[in-house]
């Protein structure tokens, strides 16, 4: 005698999870939760290296000291 299992597809599990979250958090809370897990795009490492090219340790210290002269 083989046991019959109730196998759910990934889509069914996802729908059940969204329903549970919506009941627990409300629609706005569900949307805010989903927005936290956006995949994004691009290559963050390359982008970060590009916009940080001009920074040096000395320039960062100079900026800190200029904005708050009591820090040394």
Output the pLDDT for position 1. Answer: 53
- CA angle 12-15-33, nearest 5°? 140
Is the alpha carbon torsion for 28, 32, 35, 37 positive or negative? negative
Task: Note the pLDDT tens digit of each residue in 2-22.
Answer: 566 788 999 999 999 999 999
Distances (CA, A) of 61 to 24, 52, 67, 69: 47, 15, 10, 11
Q: What is the pTM of this model?
A: 0.43
DSSP state of 38: -
Task: Note the pLDDT tens digit of each residue in 15-68.
Answer: 999 999 999 999 999 999 988 887 777 888 898 889 888 889 998 888 888 888
Tokens representing 7? 């196998």
């Amino acid at each position: 005698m083989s046991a019959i299992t109730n196998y759910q597809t990934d889509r069914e599990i996802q729908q059940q999870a969204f329903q549970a979250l919506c009941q627990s958090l409300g629609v706005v809370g569900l949307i805010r939760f989903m927005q936290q897990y956006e995949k994004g795009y691009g290559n963050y490492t390359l982008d970060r290296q590009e916009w940080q090219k001009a920074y040096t340790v000395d320039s960062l210290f100079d900026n800190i000291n200029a904005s708050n002269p009591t820090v040394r």
